[in-house]
Amino acid sequence: MYDIITIGSATRDVYLESSALKVVEDKKFETGKGICVSEGSKVEVENLFFTTGGDAVNNAVTFAQQGFNTGIICKVGEDFGGEMIEQRLNDVGVSAEFIVADQIHKTAYSTVIHSPSGERSIFVYRGATSYLTDKDINLDFLRKTKWIYLTHLGQESAKLFEPILKEAKKHGVKIAFNPGSTQLEMGHKLVPFLKHVDILFLNQEEASYLTGVDFKKEDKLFEKLDDWVFGIAVMTKGPEGVIVSDGKTRWEAGIVKEPKFVDRTGAGDAFGSGFTCAIMRGLSVEDAIQLGTTNSASVLGEWGANMGVLTRQDSIDKFGKVSIIKTRLV
């Protein structure tokens, strides 16, 4: 019996750092800024790092490092990238029982480009991770686990979302859910499924998009989330911390100061999986916020989306205590 099985993407990642990159302000870019190089030029790269990533992999690494019996459902190509993902998971003790090898599509691949400002842009090839189907997995896997951690399922893989959620509740499996763009685009069609979720993770932009409420209007936003989610709703706010609500109590927390900042990739996964670890152990929401925050800060200090995650032996306040304000709602 698994303690938890993570479900979602698995990628091979490469990180590039170059002082030749320039940040250009222009309204043509969605964020108002672009990372640019001269067309036709050869760009020198000072630093190059190969790692693994993808939501399912990142979360699985945390659960395994925290001592849980962990499985993963993902799809990789029959290539070097797939081998490296399986090796990373094997190294931390994640079971490969449900990893599917795709004979047609290559392993998903991300190229992460860091600018001198510290921001990064990511080129994403979705590859095999988008083609996980009911032909690849039997929903009987839900008889073998206590929890699932469900993340983005896109393209062909999106067809598994509803069956997995419904079957999980049928078997009494607890669900942590961090929806991706495909699930968020379901809009109000997603709402009925949220009552099945034990822990829902959203960032500010996602919470605003799903509820239709400006994320600055936090009380109104959480009125909807509290109505939709019978479990715990979590909204992460990047460097401004997090808000958590179970409909009866609301917790607002800041962040801890990590000893160094290297790369923000994977910080959200590290918070969500760390938070869930504490809840799985029966700890308080305050402890869950502390563990999630510390795990996220630890990942921020390393290259790679699942490097630096805390082990079971690490203190959950190794970077100091996070400040938490607790408010009773009813």
Give the model confidence (pLDDT) of 153-203 as tens digits.
989 899 999 999 999 999 999 999 999 999 999 988 999 999 999 999 999
- The residue among 108, 132, 157, 153 whose CA lies nearest residue 305 is 108
Tokens of 124: 């994403």
Tokens 């607002």 identify what position? 252
User: pTM of the entire structure?
Assistant: 0.93
- Please give the single-letter amino acid code of residue 19: S
Per-residue confidence band for 121, with pLDDT thresholds at 50, 70 and 90: confident
Query: For the chain, what's the residue count?
Result: 330
- Please give the single-letter amino acid code of residue 158: A
User: Contact, 262 vs 279, CB < 8 A?
Assistant: no
- Domains parsed from the chain with CATH numbers: 2-25+44-328 (3.40.1190.20)
Q: What percent of the chain has pLDDT over 90?
A: 72
Tokens of 177: 């859910």
pLDDT at 291: 96
Tokens of 190: 């997603």
pLDDT at residue 322 is higher than 90: yes
Q: How many CB atoms lie under 10 A from the CB of residue 259? A: 11
